[in-house]
Amino acid sequence: MSQPTGRVGVIGAGSWGTTLAAVLADRGYEVDLWVFETDLFEIIRDTCENTFYLPGCRLDKRITPHNDLERVVRGHSFLVMVVPSHVYRHVARQMIPFLEKGTILVSATKGIENDTLLTMSGIWREILPAEGLVHLLCLSGPSFAREVIQRIPTAITMAGDRLEVAQEAQQVFSTPYFRVYTSLDRIGVELAGALKNVIAVAAGACDGLGFGLNTRAALITRGLAEITRLGVRMGAHPMTFSGLSGIGDLLLTCTGDLSRNRTVGMQLGQGRKLRDILSEMRMVAEGVKTAASVHALARRTEVEMPICEQIYKVLYEDKDSRLAVRDLMDRDLRHEMDLEYHCQVD
């Protein structure tokens, strides 16, 4: 595998942003990493370790932290954006004056904006001053940051509108332990990455309630049906949800102990209040905010999403998790595939 040259910029130094910076450094790139928190910037600069989000993981000397966003954006033809969805638009707007025409911009944030119900690439399309200023891609799939930074074999998907651009980004990221596939279904990959977090909260709640493996398997399967139903209604290809960014990421997030969304759900199932759970978390559980977006999207598109609806009620209407499960199980009986027949495959 050839070694690249040049500098790349990574926007966001949470666990995933720092990990992707480490992957790029392993590929031979000099990486400029934007760190929002001043104290964390100083720690990474002085110790080569992100003690907030990845304690114990030594970072390559090729990674240079910055507290100045312009330093990381200006002059870079390849950027990776990994900031939480609720601040994504704000940070993106700040980046626009420094973007070079033709920049490849990879979004690795999994979420849907609450107010507009846009995906992250949708936010960019809305705010960019000119069409074609940047090439937008998204990176998603089953990938816990802690495992990737330990170089544990991982496979993931790079999606965009143009295959040649996705292939270029694929080459930039691919290492012997980080295998990247390409896709032309960007909206499907984005929606799968966002929606699986809501189902993971539900899976965690079932575990917290003490239910068994039968329950979890049923929840994941029916959760995938909901994700696919909404995705196809919004223009995604149904086969995308059978891939890494779909069932792959869903399985990981619903079953893995490193899943923040599953952890939130588990504690809800054990009877804790959401505000108390979130107050103890430094990292963002995107499924909490995405649940509100999905609830609104389902109503707008008239897509039935009963699991997501119940999780919304648990999170935002303080509904008891056990009552939510009862209401799901007591729904009218039906054919398993009736709604899915609306998904037409060419």
**DSSP conformation class of 110:** -
Same domain, yes or no: 193 and 326: yes
Q: Which helix (H) or strand (E) holds 179?
A: strand 178-183
- Does any domain span residue 158? yes
Report the distance separating Cα 291 and Cα 314, nearest Å.
10
Same domain, yes or no: 172 and 213: no
Looking at the DSSP bridge assignments, the partners of residue 158 are 139, 182
Q: Among candidates 220, 27, 252, which has minimal Cα distance to 147?
A: 252
Same domain, yes or no: 149 and 261: no
The helix, strand and coil proportions of the chain, stated in percent and rounded to the nearest 5, come to 55, 15, 35
Residue 346's pLDDT is what? 44
**DSSP conformation class of 176:** T
Q: Which amino acid, 345?
A: V
- Does any domain span residue 1? no
Same domain, yes or no: 15 and 161: yes
Domain containing 91 equals 7-184
Same domain, yes or no: 54 and 179: yes
- Does any domain span residue 142? yes
Same domain, yes or no: 133 and 42: yes
Q: Where is the domain boundary, 140, 166, 184?
A: 184
Is the Cβ–Cβ distance between 241 and 343 less than 8 Å?
no
> pLDDT truncated to tens, each residue of the chain (346 aa)?
344 457 999 999 999 999 999 999 999 999 999 999 999 999 999 999 999 999 999 999 999 999 999 999 999 999 999 999 999 999 999 999 999 999 999 999 999 999 999 999 999 999 999 888 999 999 999 999 999 999 999 999 999 999 999 999 999 999 999 999 999 999 999 999 999 999 999 999 999 999 999 999 999 999 999 999 999 999 999 999 999 999 999 999 999 999 999 999 999 999 999 999 999 888 778 999 999 999 999 999 999 999 999 999 999 999 999 999 999 999 999 899 854 445 444 4
Residue 131's pLDDT is what? 81
Q: Where is the domain boundary, 131, 150, 184?
A: 184
The 10 Å Cβ neighbour count of residue 327 is 14
Residues 6+ apart with CB under 8 A from 116: 122, 123, 126
Residue 30's pLDDT is what? 97
Q: Where is the domain boundary, 126, 160, 184?
A: 184
Same domain, yes or no: 73 and 92: yes
Same domain, yes or no: 243 and 313: yes
Q: What is the CATH number of the domain that holds 109?
A: 3.40.50.720
Is the Cβ–Cβ distance between 265 and 255 less than 8 Å?
no
- Does any domain span residue 218? yes
Residue 338's pLDDT is what? 58
Same domain, yes or no: 170 and 212: no
Same domain, yes or no: 138 and 69: yes
Is the Cβ–Cβ distance between 20 and 144 less than 8 Å?
no
- Does any domain span residue 67? yes
Six token digits for residue 147? 């495992």
Our count of domains for the chain comes to: 2
Residue 5's pLDDT is what? 53
Q: Which helix (H) or strand (E) holds 275?
A: helix 274-279
Report the distance separating Cα 312 and Cα 318, nearest Å.
9
Is the Cβ–Cβ distance between 230 and 295 less than 8 Å?
no
Is the Cβ–Cβ distance between 200 and 253 less than 8 Å?
yes
Is the Cβ–Cβ distance between 135 and 80 less than 8 Å?
no
Report the distance separating Cα 35 and Cα 72, nearest Å.
10
Choose the catalytic residue: 196, 289, 313, 319. 196
Same domain, yes or no: 141 and 217: no
Same domain, yes or no: 271 and 332: yes
Quick one: CA torsion of 300, 302, 308, 313, rounded to 10 degrees? 70
Residue 6's pLDDT is what? 73
- Does any domain span residue 2? no
| Whole-Å CA distances, 303 to 107, 118, 230, 309 | 27, 17, 6, 11
Q: What is the CATH number of the domain that holds 299?
A: 1.10.1040.10
- Answer yes or no: 313 catalytic: no
